[in-house]
């Protein structure tokens, strides 16, 4: 069982966390005007890289999203980083 | 034949313990294992082999045992496939052991005849022979012949134990000399230490090999070291096997319950794992080396020193290394006649052995064991024959580095040690002593102390000294003739490995799967390296080039009951409980699980159909009370709440006036309906979302995600108040009358409280919210009070409505009521393709200008397709109910094609006919059309209609 570090609660078992998506994906602006290919890429395309990845996870007990940099081969995981700067 | 010596061993002869084997009453002593007690009683055949039903005896002395696999029933509970070598006899507990894969018993197995056909059953036999016409025809008979123990389907752990967590600086695995030394050093160095050992008594190899450690006799050194560990605050857990290393250094250990206590799983997080698990002796491989009476040499010594059992009177010890010499000498000293057959031409301990009365035949090896049911003699390469009733074999030692491998360590072949040993260090893991290929006692202890001297270091490079064992190659080869067994548990011979190699199963992983070498309960602890060497020889490679199979947890079989712990039965997936559960039970409710909650399905005596009809009548003709407490109540609060709700919802919500409510959908970004529900606007900056019961957690997480990702979290707050409130839905034409009798402090008049409005008032001195909503189609009120006041509200409603004919309403009746009205249940009447316009809610899609979740997806080619499945009602044509799941079919040329299916189907007492809902292609434009349905081979007819079958105008909402 892996240990991830929530920036708010500290180190916890992986079962407390939920994967939300790859980091860096932007929701296309424009509603109905967004191009079909752009919208399809937003919905369905993942980078799915091997090795070091940056992902958004939620720590379910506290409900906070954060950035998790980890390696999906070695399973090394850096401490999570909050999505907003301190005090914002 | 093996026998118990009059004295010696670590058993307590004052405490005899009866047990049985294959129905025969036998007796052992406290301290015995089942295997030692069987040997002490002269039992030579303990079971039949997996494939050929050959008689097999005890081979090993601990977890490596391949043969003595028994069904063990203790105090009436059966453990299948237990290793007799690790089952202790215990005072006050009955123990009945039965041999496996043998009928009627191990001595007289009827299927032993299979062995005569063995040459027709080589590796891959089943794969090749029964492929045609199909495996399924042969499988039952083959399965009945093969296999090991029998499961007891009624077995349940008497008292399952919850898994426990534990953290420590240093976890030491194995309480042999290296492990004890490491634990002591680490504990005295101020670190928190946990030492786990799978035996009942710490000491490991010292328990039977003895010797001198750090200037002390073994016994005294063990006692002193344990005392020192305890003094320094360390913990020692015996009967505990660390069986697996998982991600981020999690170690799982199984603590076997002694004296009838349940097994317990430990999850251990250690800063530093020290693997001191010792080594396992390898057999020598020669013809008929599987006969009862052939044991590992180490086992021969262990049975003598630990249990006072002499494995034979005339013993041949066959070896390729020095470790067998003390074994031969100890057995000689215990009274056996001992010959030592050593394949090395000039063993350096020869003189020592001969001085002790052991005949040494150097440069010689055993090529065949003779005997029918048990060993009677050994034939040597020279042709010489030595009579023997026990043949002890030592083909070198295999380091027990499983945990290192599971931690992603890679083994390397050491050609001088003739063993796979740990290669590059793994961070946080040290392997010490024999597990690391360090076989000298002093060197192992020194290495262990050094490994823990610096926290988390891998320690110094191993001081491996090939001279410690001085092992010479003695690998299996095909020259012996006859059948030479590599894997005793899986019945794999040298010839089988040759066949696999010839058929190009040359990778060690393929070899394993083709021959089953290294599979089953022992996972090849005694056989893997010999198998690798045999494959290497057959393919012209070195063992290091062949490599090992992947090591995976568990090291020993672990009962699922220990892993599950308390998560069984009701605790497997605990239901959520209503505050009113006791009152529902008092009203005769039949409770069931709905959306994770235990809720009343229906009330009162009689079968469900009658009860549901009764409740529906009350709701349609009088008044009924439904416990809607689990309905979601998620509050969205803050200056950006209205903007947030507009973005989240398919319907516009910012235009909702405070005090008003609106029904609508939340979509996925794919445009698919995620949930439906009613949203209330509490004030300018505060909304309450009544999502479906089963969607509460997901809706909360969804709101949080969007709040943090796309909004300013400082201007929005999401609060899940679902369980704070209990909600009772009062529904029916007499509901207003009943509400007026409740003495709720609020204006409940239709002017102040029209349909889809709510007021906040007081009930019994506390807050209460009354909302005009209806899931039944009748005039309805939802009264929410703090959960603690739920019972009072419920009692008052039922008491005040007695003369009105009030009845409690279960969820089954409610489901029928809403189906009459054509109200959908998301996930039941919708699926993973359903968009809001498929449900008749196309307005916002076309009219809304702003963006919202899922909007773009409502305008794709698929979303605009003409043949989308749309919500319809279905009326049976011939009166037969339409089963849920029945498909509406169309003829497409000669073939039937599904156009949709029935999603809900109920009897409707109000309409006196069945009602059904479904999703049907172009359904909204096909009202009135008669269609054909098929269900499980039956054909039915139905007419499509609008979803609402009852009070389409909605007059009854204000009746
Ligand atoms: Zn957290």
What is the overall mean pLDDT for chain B?
94
Contact B148, B67 (CB under 8 A): no
Cβ–Cβ of A39/B705 closer than 8 Å? no
d(CA B221, CA B177): 9
- Single out the residue of A85, A84, A68 nearest to residue A76, CA to CA: A68
Top CATH class of B157-281+396-472 equals alpha beta
- Cα-to-centroid distance, B673 and ligand 1 (Å): 30
- pLDDT on residue B910: 85
| Closest CB to A63 among B269, B704, B709 | B704
Query: Which part of chain B has CATH 3.50.50.60?
Result: 157-281+396-472, 283-394
| Closest CB to B856 among A1, A34, A56 | A34
* Residue A86 confidence class, pLDDT cut points 50, 70, 90: low
Q: What CATH number does domain B634-720 carry, 3.40.190.10, 3.40.50.300, 3.20.20.70, 3.30.70.1400?
A: 3.30.70.1400
A63 to chain B, any CB pair closer than 8 A? The answer is yes
Cβ-based neighbour number of residue B772 at 10 Å: 21
CA distance B457 to chain A (A): 18
- Output the CA–CA distances (angstroms, integers) from residue B645 to B538, B641, B655, in the order listed: 72, 6, 11
Query: Does the pLDDT of residue B147 top 70, yes or no?
Result: no
Across the A/B interface, how many CB contacts are shorter than 8 Å? 54
User: Angle of helix B508-515 relative to helix B528-538, nearest 10 degrees?
Assistant: 110
- pLDDT on residue B360: 98
d(CA B592, CA B179): 53
B167 to chain A, any CB pair closer than 8 A? The answer is no
For residue B246, whether the previous peptide bond is cis, meaning omega lies within 30 degrees of 0, is: no
| Closest CB to B669 among A30, A43, A84 | A43
d(CA B668, CA B275): 50
Strands B411-414 and B294-296 come out as: unpaired
Cβ–Cβ of A36/B709 closer than 8 Å? no
d(CA B72, CA B84): 8
A62 to chain B, any CB pair closer than 8 A? The answer is no
d(CA B768, CA B790): 11
- pLDDT on residue B587: 97
- pLDDT on residue A83: 87
CA distance A2 to chain B (A): 5
- Cα-to-centroid distance, B604 and ligand 1 (Å): 46
d(CA B501, CA B124): 12
d(CA B734, CA B728): 15
Query: Does the pLDDT of residue B30 top 80, yes or no?
Result: yes
Query: What is the helix (H) or strand (E) element at residue B220, kind and residue range?
Result: helix B218-231
Instruction: Give residue for tokens 């899931």.
Output: B775
> Which CATH architecture does the domain made up of B3-113 adopt?
Roll (3.10)
Range with the poorest average pLDDT among B40-54, B476-490, B673-687: B476-490
B119 to chain A, any CB pair closer than 8 A? The answer is no
What is the three-state SS of B572-600?
Answer: CCCCEECCCHHHHHHCCEEEEEECCEEEE
| Closest CB to A3 among B248, B709, B710 | B248
> Which CATH architecture does the domain made up of B283-394 adopt?
3-Layer(bba) Sandwich (3.50)
Q: Which residues of B touch A88 (CB under 8 A)?
A: 714
Contact B272, B171 (CB under 8 A): yes
Q: What are the boundaries of each domain within chain A?
A: 3-24+37-82
Residue B893 burial class via C-beta count within 10 angstroms: exposed 0-12, middle 13-18, buried 19 and up: exposed
pLDDT tens-digit series, residues A41-84: 999 999 999 999 999 999 999 999 999 999 999 999 999 999 87
- pLDDT on residue B569: 82
Instruction: Give residue for tokens 């309409």.
Output: B911
Q: Which residues of B touch A64 (CB under 8 A)?
A: 708
Phi, psi (rounded to 5 degrees) for B341:
-100, 110
- pLDDT on residue B853: 98
- Output the CA–CA distances (angstroms, integers) from residue B942 to B368, B387, B815, B884, B936, in the order listed: 80, 88, 21, 13, 16
Rounded average pLDDT over B176-205: 97
Structure tokens at B384: 């010489």
Q: B250 by DSSP, 3-state: which? A: strand
- pLDDT on residue B1: 87
Please tell me the number of Cα atoms within 13 Å of B596 on its side-chain side: 12
Q: Which residues of B touch A61 (CB under 8 A)?
A: none
Residues 670 to 709 of B: which have CB under 8 A from any A CB? 670, 700-701, 704-705, 708-709
Query: Which part of chain B has CATH 3.10.20.440?
Result: 3-113
B710 to chain A, any CB pair closer than 8 A? The answer is yes
d(CA B284, CA B186): 38
Phi, psi (rounded to 5 degrees) for B507:
-80, 145
- pLDDT on residue B150: 80
* Residue B916 confidence class, pLDDT cut points 50, 70, 90: very high
Cβ–Cβ of A31/B713 closer than 8 Å? no
The per-residue DSSP string of B617-656 comes to HHHHHS-EEEE-TTS--EEEESTTHHHHHHHHBSS--TTP
CA distance A80 to chain B (A): 15
The gap from C-alpha B178 to its chain's centroid, in whole angstroms, comes to 33
A3-24+37-82 fold: Folate-binding fold (3.30.2270)
Residue B234 burial class via C-beta count within 10 angstroms: exposed 0-12, middle 13-18, buried 19 and up: buried
Contact B432, B449 (CB under 8 A): no
- pLDDT on residue B467: 93
Top residue of B248, B669, B713, B715 to mutate, by most chain A CBs within 10 Å, is B248
Top residue of A20, A43, A57 to mutate, by most chain B CBs within 10 Å, is A43
Query: Which part of chain B has CATH 1.10.10?
Result: 475-568
A50 to chain B, any CB pair closer than 8 A? The answer is no
**pLDDT above 90 covers what percent of chain B?**
86
d(CA B597, CA B574): 9
* Residue B898 confidence class, pLDDT cut points 50, 70, 90: very high
- pLDDT on residue B479: 64
Q: Which residues of A touch B636 (CB under 8 A)?
A: none
- pLDDT on residue B117: 73
- pLDDT on residue A85: 66
Cβ–Cβ of B709/A31 closer than 8 Å? no
d(CA B860, CA A37): 11
pLDDT tens-digit series, residues B288-319: 999 999 999 999 999 999 999 999 999 999 99
- pLDDT on residue B813: 97
Give the residues across from B268 on adjacent strands.
B166, B251
- pLDDT on residue B146: 64
Rounded average pLDDT over B518-538: 94
- pLDDT on residue A87: 52
pLDDT tens-digit series, residues B440-499: 999 999 999 999 997 665 556 678 999 999 999 999 876 657 899 999 999 999 999 999
* Residue B107 confidence class, pLDDT cut points 50, 70, 90: confident
Structure tokens at B523: 């996972």
User: Which residues neighbour ligand 1 (ion) by CB within 5 Å?
Assistant: A 6, 8-9, 59, 62
Query: Does the pLDDT of residue B123 top 80, yes or no?
Result: no
- pLDDT on residue B230: 98
| Closest CB to A1 among B246, B709, B718 | B246
Look up the ipTM and state it. 0.96
- Cα-to-centroid distance, A12 and ligand 1 (Å): 8
| Closest CB to A65 among B247, B705, B852 | B705
Cβ–Cβ of B859/A32 closer than 8 Å? yes
- Cα-to-centroid distance, A65 and ligand 1 (Å): 8
Range with the poorest average pLDDT among B115-129, B659-673, B723-737: B115-129
- Cα-to-centroid distance, B249 and ligand 1 (Å): 22
Query: Does the pLDDT of residue B612 top 80, yes or no?
Result: yes
**Residue B248: closest CA among chain A residues belongs to which residue?**
A2
pLDDT tens-digit series, residues B363-409: 999 999 999 999 999 999 999 999 999 999 999 999 999 999 999 99
Strands A52-59 and A64-71 come out as: antiparallel
pLDDT tens-digit series, residues A13-34: 999 999 999 999 999 999 999 9
Top residue of A65, A73, A77 to mutate, by most chain B CBs within 10 Å, is A65
- pLDDT on residue B104: 79
Rg (CA), chain B: 38
Q: What CATH number does domain B475-568 carry, 3.90.1150, 1.10.10, 3.40.50, 2.60.40?
A: 1.10.10
B477 to chain A, any CB pair closer than 8 A? The answer is no
| Closest CB to A75 among B247, B709, B860 | B247
Cβ-based neighbour number of residue B865 at 10 Å: 11
Q: What CATH number does domain B822-957 carry, 3.30.1540.10, 3.30.420.40, 3.30.70.120, 3.30.1360.120?
A: 3.30.1360.120
For residue B133, whether the previous peptide bond is cis, meaning omega lies within 30 degrees of 0, is: yes
Cβ–Cβ of B250/A1 closer than 8 Å? yes
- pLDDT on residue B777: 96
- Cα-to-centroid distance, B708 and ligand 1 (Å): 14
d(CA B577, CA B262): 29
- Cα-to-centroid distance, A56 and ligand 1 (Å): 13
Q: Please name the residue ranges forming H helices in chain A.
A: 36-44
Residues 25 to 44 of A: which have CB under 8 A from any B CB? 27-32, 34, 36, 39, 42-43
* Residue B571 confidence class, pLDDT cut points 50, 70, 90: confident
* Residue B568 confidence class, pLDDT cut points 50, 70, 90: confident
- Cα-to-centroid distance, B567 and ligand 1 (Å): 25
Contact B941, B891 (CB under 8 A): no
């Amino acid at each position: 069982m892996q240990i991830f570090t929530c920036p708010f609660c500290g180190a916890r078992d992986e079962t407390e966390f939920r994967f939300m998506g790859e980091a860096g994906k932007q929701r296309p602006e424009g509603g109905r005007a967004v191009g079909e290919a752009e919208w399809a890429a937003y919905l369905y395309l993942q980078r799915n890289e091997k090795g070091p990845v940056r992902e958004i996870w939620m720590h379910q007990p506290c409900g906070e999203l954060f950035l998790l940099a980890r390696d999906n081969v070695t399973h090394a995981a850096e401490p999570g980083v909050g999505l907003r700067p301190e005090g914002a | 034949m093996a026998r118990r010596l009059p004295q010696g061993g670590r058993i307590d002869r004052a405490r005899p313990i009866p047990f049985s084997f294959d129905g025969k009453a036998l007796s052992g002593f406290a301290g015995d294992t089942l295997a030692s007690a069987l040997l002490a009683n002269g039992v030579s055949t303990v079971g039949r082999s997996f494939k050929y039903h050959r008689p097999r005896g005890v081979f090993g002395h601990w977890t490596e045992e391949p043969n003595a696999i028994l069904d063990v029933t203790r105090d009436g509970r059966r453990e299948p496939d237990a290793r007799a070598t690790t089952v202790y006899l215990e005072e006050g507990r009955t123990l009945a052991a039965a041999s496996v894969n043998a009928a009627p018993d191990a001595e007289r197995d009827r299927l032993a005849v299979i062995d005569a056909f063995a040459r027709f059953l080589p590796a891959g036999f089943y794969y090749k022979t029964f492929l045609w016409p199909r495996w399924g025809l042969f499988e039952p008979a083959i399965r009945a012949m093969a296999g090991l123990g029998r499961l007891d389907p009624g077995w349940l752990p008497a008292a399952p134990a919850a898994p426990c967590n534990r953290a420590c600086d240093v976890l030491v695995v194995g309480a042999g000399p290296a492990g004890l030394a490491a634990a002591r050093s680490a504990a005295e160095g101020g670190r928190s230490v946990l030492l786990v050992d799978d035996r009942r008594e710490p000491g490991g190899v010292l328990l039977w090999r003895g010797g001198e450690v750090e200037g002390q006799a073994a016994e005294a050194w063990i006692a002193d070291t344990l005392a020192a560990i305890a003094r320094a605050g360390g913990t020692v857990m015996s009967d505990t096997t660390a069986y697996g290393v998982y991600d981020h250094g999690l170690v799982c250990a199984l603590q076997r319950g002694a004296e009838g206590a349940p097994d317990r799983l430990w999850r251990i997080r250690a800063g530093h794992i020290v693997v001191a698990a010792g080594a396992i002796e390898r057999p020598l491989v020669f013809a008929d080396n599987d006969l009862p009476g052939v044991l590992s040499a180490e086992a021969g010594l262990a049975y003598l020193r630990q249990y006072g059992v002499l494995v034979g009177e005339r013993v041949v010890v066959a070896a390729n290394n020095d470790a067998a010499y003390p074994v031969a000498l100890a057995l000689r000293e215990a009274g056996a006649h001992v010959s030592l057959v050593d394949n090395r031409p000039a063993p350096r301990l020869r003189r020592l052995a001969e001085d002790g009365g052991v005949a040494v035949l150097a440069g010689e090896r055993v090529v065949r064991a003779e005997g029918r049911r048990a060993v009677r003699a050994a034939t040597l390469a020279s042709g010489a024959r030595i009579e023997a009733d026990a043949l002890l074999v030592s083909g070198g030692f295999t380091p027990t580095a499983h945990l290192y491998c599971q931690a992603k360590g890679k083994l390397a072949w050491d050609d001088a040690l003739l063993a796979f040993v740990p290669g590059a260090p793994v961070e946080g893991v040290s392997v010490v002593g024999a597990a690391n290929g360090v076989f000298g006692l002093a060197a192992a202890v020194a290495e262990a102390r050094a490994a823990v001297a610096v926290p988390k270091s891998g320690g110094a490079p191993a001081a491996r000294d090939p001279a410690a064992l001085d092992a010479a190659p003695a690998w299996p080869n095909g020259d012996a003739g006859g059948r030479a067994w590599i894997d005793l548990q899986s019945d794999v011979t040298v010839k089988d490995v040759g066949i696999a190699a010839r058929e190009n199963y040359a990778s060690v992983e393929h070899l394993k799967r083709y021959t089953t070498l290294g599979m089953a309960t022992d996972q090849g602890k005694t056989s893997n390296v010999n198998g690798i060497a045999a494959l290497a020889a057959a393919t012209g490679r070195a063992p290091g080039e062949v490599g090992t199979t992947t090591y995976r947890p568990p090291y020993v079989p672990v009962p699922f009951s220990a892993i599950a712990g308390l998560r069984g039965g009701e605790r497997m997936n605990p239901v959520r409980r209503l505050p009113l559960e006791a009152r529902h039970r008092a009203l005769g409710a039949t409770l069931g699980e709905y959306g994770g909650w235990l809720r009343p399905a229906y009330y009162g005596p009689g079968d469900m159909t009658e009860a549901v009809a009764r409740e529906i009548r009350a709701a349609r003709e009088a008044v009924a009370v439904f416990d809607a407490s689990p309905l979601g109540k998620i509050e969205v609060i803050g200056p950006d709440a209205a903007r947030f709700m507009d973005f989240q919802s398919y319907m516009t919500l910012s235009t909702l006036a405070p005090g008003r409510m609106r029904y609508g959908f939340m979509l996925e970004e794919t445009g698919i309906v995620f949930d439906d529900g009613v949203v209330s606007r509490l004030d300018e900056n505060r909304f309450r979302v009544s999502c479906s019961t089963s969607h509460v957690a997901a809706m909360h997480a969804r709101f949080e995600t969007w709040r943090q990702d796309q909004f300013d979290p400082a201007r929005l707050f999401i609060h899940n108040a679902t369980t704070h409130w209990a909600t009772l839905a009062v529904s029916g034409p007499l509901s207003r009358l009943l509400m007026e009798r409740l003495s709720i402090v609020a204006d409940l008049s239709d002017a102040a409280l029209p349909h889809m409005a709510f007021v906040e008032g007081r009930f019994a001195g506390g807050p209460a919210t009354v909302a005009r909503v209806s899931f039944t189609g009748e005039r309805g009120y939802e009264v929410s009070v703090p959960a603690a006041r739920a019972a009072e509200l419920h009692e008052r409603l039922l008491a005040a409505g007695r003369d009105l004919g009030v009845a409690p309403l279960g969820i089954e009746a409610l489901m029928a009521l809403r189906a009459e009205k054509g109200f959908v249940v998301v996930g039941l009447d919708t699926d993973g393709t359903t968009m809001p316009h498929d449900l008749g809610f196309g307005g916002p899609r076309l009219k809304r200008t702003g963006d919202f979740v899922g909007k773009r997806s409502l305008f794709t080619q698929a979303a605009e397709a003409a043949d989308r499945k749309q919500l319809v009602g279905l009326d049976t044509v011939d009166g037969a109910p339409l089963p849920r799941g029945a498909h509406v079919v169309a003829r497409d040329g000669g073939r039937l094609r599904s156009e949709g299916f029935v999603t809900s189907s109920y009897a409707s007492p109000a309409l006196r006919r069945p009602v059904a809902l479904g999703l049907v292609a172009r359904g909204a434009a096909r009202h009135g059309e008669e269609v054909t349905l098929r269900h499980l081979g039956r054909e039915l007819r139905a007419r499509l209609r609008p979803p609402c079958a009852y009070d389409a105008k909605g007059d009854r909402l204000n009746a």
